[in-house]
């Protein structure tokens, strides 16, 4: 029977931060199908991506040999590039030749221009061990801290606020805790699309009587389960949250005992919000003042309440301020540290939590330990037996700017696709094209790889061993189910080969050895061993003992800040960087679809997922469709100050009027050609969620 597997392999889904555990059913070295497993975050459930998005590694365009750019071929992106056709711009090479060329180009640039001429992007799609090795290579081989990854485009602002206010960038409670909550606020997130299995917990909680309050400019599928859905004006988040804080202060709904025991700075916050009444803020928010009061009262009076947020909060020039407000709400009402309470920024990519923990961040060493701290740096210098740079490195968008400025001349990009994911793509793509030497390590000739000098064929998640850490701080083990095709290699092996060519004395033979080294520099992994993960499949950090479970809820007694107290950080409303005006009257917002993941490099090569959503579409409200005078399925053009794209229009009754939503995974209508690269000053995250645009029939 061709449909009967000859063996099964337990692993973890490679897509979102929910971290669903799954089982691959394998026959003749091919995955036949995937089943959900009883993991702590999914209880056998999978969404459409986890269930059907497993076939991309066997796509005909999969890279199976290293490639080297043919001499004289210009570096530019061809949106009509057909990966299934014979390559014209590259030639196949042996590993030896490709690794030598890849490394020598980077070494030569370092020799000629110094360590600041090189930078690296690691990947939240890869394992913790691969993230650790990648940042170690940049810091000890390249000699700089210019290493970053997609957290910069995701939750960097949330982490900046959390580190500042509570001393830790991870969630304070798992999303399973909603089953213990009386009230749950979901803001700037759309779990039914982006964290679908987590959404099932929200639905279950709502059925049990938990009051879900959805606060977002757009409507969403979970609204059907919501006690209240509050639609506010795009970009007015800080005004709305400060108005809620004003209600909590003026009606004395705060928890004075909790504030006294666990926080500092509340008096300043009280004084700060005194003028920001619901009536004063309502015009900016587009929300009725009584609705603001009702939401604030529901949250503050709840015995147990949680706040969840996503990119709608973080991807703004005021993203850090947004998160500071949400933290203030929780601290003022004593809604952390107990079961059913907490702050939870829903992590996007499957390992963005783990890759950040492992140090793919330019200003901190692993476990968020500042590179500028002499004592911490000395400990890592001893661990790695190499002097380290004390200056923080550049972030994702800053690196693109530094390429244009002539400072960064060479890059190593592993598994990231900035030619699709960066804001203002013309600027980012011009930067990639102008690099003197670019090495890309990936599964396919991605849009970014089209600019590479050397392309190194890497490993898919179902082909390798490694650990990943999901949004709940659960460290889980991925296992190889099928062999690597052709000459493709595990990412950790490739990074090591580059490191050796930088003169580094690396000799890892398996990811478990890397994990053992990580434990020496990452206190978060205390009491978690590879063997334990093999046995238990999932262990939450922090974990108090090798025979005890990890902490689902943290900071019951003290916060990891000096003195053990969390801090209120007052914020002032700021306008979007590029407000709408007469020429560009519509708000463009971007994001993901249920069926497609990030830049689409995996899901657009997965047959079922691509069949479900095969082409780029822009979603507008019914009223907007009438105003445009087009029918669903007809093309429209969206224009911003940075570019224009043409794509089909889809009517979405849940869209706010005056807004258009475009997913960012379609190269033929790349949303990020339009987006604004203006950065949040703290998290350095671009304003993907608000750009002024103009819509017109094509």
User: Which residues here bind ligand SF4, judged by CB under 6 A?
Assistant: 13, 15-16, 18-20, 42, 46-47, 49-50, 195-197
Alpha-carbon separation of residue 486 from 25, 84, 456, 504, 521 (angstroms): 22, 16, 12, 28, 35
- Nearest residue to the partner ligand SF4, using Cβ: 50
User: How far, in Å, CA of 448 to CA of 420, rounded?
Assistant: 8
- Smallest gap, in angstroms, from Cβ of residue 56 to ligand SF4? 13
In the complex with ligand SF4, the residue whose CB is nearer, 16 or 173, is 16
In the complex with ligand SF4, the residue whose CB is nearer, 47 or 150, is 47
- Smallest gap, in angstroms, from Cβ of residue 537 to ligand SF4? 15
Counted residue by residue, the chain has a size of 698
In the complex with ligand SF4, the residue whose CB is nearer, 15 or 584, is 15
Alpha-carbon separation of residue 325 from 268, 455, 567, 571, 573 (angstroms): 14, 44, 11, 7, 11
In the complex with ligand SF4, the residue whose CB is nearer, 323 or 602, is 602
Question: 556 is written with which tokens?
Answer: 């019951």
In the complex with ligand SF4, the residue whose CB is nearer, 195 or 598, is 195
- Smallest gap, in angstroms, from Cβ of residue 205 to ligand SF4? 17
- Smallest gap, in angstroms, from Cβ of residue 23 to ligand SF4? 12
Within 13 Å of residue 536, how many CA atoms lie on the same side as its CB?
A: 19
Strand bridging mode 228-230 / 211-215? parallel
- Smallest gap, in angstroms, from Cβ of residue 36 to ligand SF4? 7
Query: Which residues lie across from 692 on neighbouring strands?
Result: 587
CB 130 within 8 A of CB 495: yes
In the complex with ligand SF4, the residue whose CB is nearer, 592 or 642, is 592
- Smallest gap, in angstroms, from Cβ of residue 612 to ligand SF4? 14
3-state secondary structure 431-445: HHHHCCEEEEEECCC
User: How far, in Å, CA of 142 to CA of 495, rounded?
Assistant: 12
- Smallest gap, in angstroms, from Cβ of residue 464 to ligand SF4? 17
- Smallest gap, in angstroms, from Cβ of residue 199 to ligand SF4? 8
Burial of residue 96 (number of CB atoms within 10 Å: 0-12, 13-18, 19+): exposed
**Cβ-Cβ contacts under 8 Å for 698 (sequence gap 6 or more):** 634, 635, 636, 637, 646
- Smallest gap, in angstroms, from Cβ of residue 356 to ligand SF4? 18
How far is residue 217 CA from its own chain's centroid? 21
In the complex with ligand SF4, the residue whose CB is nearer, 42 or 672, is 42
In the complex with ligand SF4, the residue whose CB is nearer, 142 or 597, is 597
In the complex with ligand SF4, the residue whose CB is nearer, 20 or 638, is 20
Sheet holding 67-69, edge to edge: 90-92, 67-69, 454-457, 437-442, 410-414, 118-121, 147-148
CB 235 within 8 A of CB 690: yes
- Smallest gap, in angstroms, from Cβ of residue 35 to ligand SF4? 11
- Smallest gap, in angstroms, from Cβ of residue 461 to ligand SF4? 11
Alpha-carbon separation of residue 416 from 38, 241, 342, 448, 599 (angstroms): 30, 34, 31, 8, 9
In the complex with ligand SF4, the residue whose CB is nearer, 49 or 149, is 49
- Smallest gap, in angstroms, from Cβ of residue 304 to ligand SF4? 25
Q: Which of 269, 177, 76, 36 lies closest to 471, judged by CA? A: 177
In the complex with ligand SF4, the residue whose CB is nearer, 48 or 551, is 48
User: How far, in Å, CA of 606 to CA of 52, rounded?
Assistant: 8
- Smallest gap, in angstroms, from Cβ of residue 196 to ligand SF4? 5
User: How far, in Å, CA of 92 to CA of 64, rounded?
Assistant: 9
How far is residue 461 CA from its own chain's centroid? 17
Torsion of CA 19, 25, 29, 32, to 10 degrees: -100
In the complex with ligand SF4, the residue whose CB is nearer, 19 or 423, is 19
In the complex with ligand SF4, the residue whose CB is nearer, 336 or 351, is 351
Cis peptide before 638 (omega within 30 of 0): no
User: How far, in Å, CA of 78 to CA of 306, rounded?
Assistant: 46
- Smallest gap, in angstroms, from Cβ of residue 19 to ligand SF4? 6
In the complex with ligand SF4, the residue whose CB is nearer, 191 or 511, is 191
CB 138 within 8 A of CB 144: yes
Phi-psi region of 209 (alpha: psi -120 to 50; beta: other; left: phi over 0): left
- Smallest gap, in angstroms, from Cβ of residue 20 to ligand SF4? 3
How many CB atoms are located within 10 Å of the residue 342 CB? 28
- Smallest gap, in angstroms, from Cβ of residue 51 to ligand SF4? 7
- Smallest gap, in angstroms, from Cβ of residue 538 to ligand SF4? 13
Residue environment code for 192-228, b if the CB has 16+ CB neighbours within 10 A, otherwise e: bbbbbbbbbbbbebbeeebbbbbbbbbbbebbebbeb
CB 380 within 8 A of CB 521: yes
CB 301 within 8 A of CB 538: no
In the complex with ligand SF4, the residue whose CB is nearer, 49 or 139, is 49
Question: 10 is written with which tokens?
Answer: 């337990």
Residue position matching structure tokens 């930078």 = 119
In the complex with ligand SF4, the residue whose CB is nearer, 217 or 478, is 478
How many CB atoms are located within 10 Å of the residue 82 CB? 8
In the complex with ligand SF4, the residue whose CB is nearer, 154 or 287, is 154
Q: Which of 189, 180, 173 lies closest to 222, judged by CA? A: 189
**Cα distance from N-terminal residue to C-terminal residue, the chain:** 51
């Amino acid at each position: 029977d061709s449909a009967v597997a000859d063996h099964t392999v337990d692993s973890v889904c490679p897509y979102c931060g929910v971290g669903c555990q799954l089982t691959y059913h394998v026959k003749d070295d091919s995955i036949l199908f995937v089943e959900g497993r009883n993991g702590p975050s999914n209880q056998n459930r999978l969404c459409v991506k986890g269930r059907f998005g497993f076939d991309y590694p066997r796509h005909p365009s999969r890279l199976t040999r290293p490639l080297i750019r043919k001499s004289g071929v210009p570096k530019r992106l061809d949106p009509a590039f057909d990966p299934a056709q014979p390559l014209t711009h590259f030639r196949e090479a042996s590993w030896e030749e490709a690794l030598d060329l890849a490394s020598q180009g980077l070494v030569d640039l370092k020799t000629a221009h110094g360590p600041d001429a090189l930078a690296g992007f690691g990947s939240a799609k890869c394992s913790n061990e691969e993230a650790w090795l990648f940042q170690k290579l940049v810091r000890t081989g390249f000699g700089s801290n210019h290493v970053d990854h997609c957290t910069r485009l995701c939750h960097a602002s949330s982490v900046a606020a959390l580190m500042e206010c509570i001393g830790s960038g991870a969630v304070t409670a798992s999303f399973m805790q909603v089953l213990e909550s009386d009230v749950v606020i979901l803001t700037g997130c759309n779990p039914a699309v982006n964290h679908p299995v987590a959404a099932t917990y929200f639905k279950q909680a709502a059925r049990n009587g938990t009051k879900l309050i959805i606060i977002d400019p757009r409507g969403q599928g979970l609204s059907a389960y919501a006690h209240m859905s509050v639609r506010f004006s795009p970009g007015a988040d800080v005004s709305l949250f400060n108005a809620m804080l004003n209600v909590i202060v003026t009606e004395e709904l705060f928890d004075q005992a909790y504030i006294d025991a666990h926080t500092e700075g509340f008096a300043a916050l009280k004084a700060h919000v005194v003028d920001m009444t619901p009536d004063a803020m309502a015009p900016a928010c587009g929300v009725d003042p009584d609705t603001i009061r009702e939401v604030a009262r529901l949250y503050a009076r709840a015995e147990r309440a949680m706040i969840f947020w996503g990119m709608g909060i973080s991807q703004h020039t005021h993203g850090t301020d947004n998160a500071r407000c949400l933290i203030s709400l929780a601290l003022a009402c004593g809604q952390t540290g107990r079961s059913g309470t907490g702050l939870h920024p829903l992590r996007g990519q499957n390992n963005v939590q783990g890759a950040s923990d492992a140090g793919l961040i330019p200003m901190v060493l692993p476990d968020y330990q500042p590179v500028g701290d002499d004592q911490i740096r000395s400990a890592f210098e001893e661990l790695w037996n190499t002097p380290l740079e004390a200056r923080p490195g550049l972030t994702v968008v800053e690196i693109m700017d530094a390429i244009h400025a002539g400072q960064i001349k060479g890059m190593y990009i592993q598994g990231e696709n900035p030619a699709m994911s960066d804001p203002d793509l013309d600027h980012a793509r011009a930067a990639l094209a102008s690099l003197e030497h670019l090495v890309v390590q990936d599964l396919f000739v991605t849009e970014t790889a089209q600019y590479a000098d050397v392309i190194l064929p890497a490993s898919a998640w179902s082909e390798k061993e490694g650990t990943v850490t999901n949004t709940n701080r659960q460290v889980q083990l991925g296992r190889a189910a099928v062999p690597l095709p052709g000459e493709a290699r595990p990412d950790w092996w490739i990074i090591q080969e580059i490191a050796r060519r930088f003169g580094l004395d690396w000799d890892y033979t398996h990811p478990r050895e890397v994990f053992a080294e990580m434990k020496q520099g990452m206190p978060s992994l205390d009491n978690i061993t590879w063997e334990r993960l093999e046995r238990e499949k999932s262990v939450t950090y922090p974990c108090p003992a090798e025979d005890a479970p990890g902490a689902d809820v943290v900071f019951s007694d003290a916060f990891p800040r000096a003195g053990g107290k969390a801090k209120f950080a007052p914020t002032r409303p700021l306008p979007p960087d590029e407000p709408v005006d007469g020429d560009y009257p519509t708000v463009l917002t971007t994001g993901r679809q249920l069926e497609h993941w990030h830049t689409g490099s995996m899901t657009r090569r997965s047959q079922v997922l691509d069949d479900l959503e095969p082409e780029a579409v822009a979603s507008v409200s019914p009223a907007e469709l009438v105003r445009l005078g087009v029918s669903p399925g007809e093309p429209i053009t969206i224009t911003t100050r940075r570019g224009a794209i043409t794509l089909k229009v889809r009517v979405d009754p849940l869209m706010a009027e005056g807004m258009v939503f475009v997913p960012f995974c379609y190269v033929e209508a790349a949303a990020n050609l339009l987006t604004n690269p203006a950065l949040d000053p703290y998290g350095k995250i671009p304003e993907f969620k608000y750009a002024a645009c103009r819509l017109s029939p094509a």
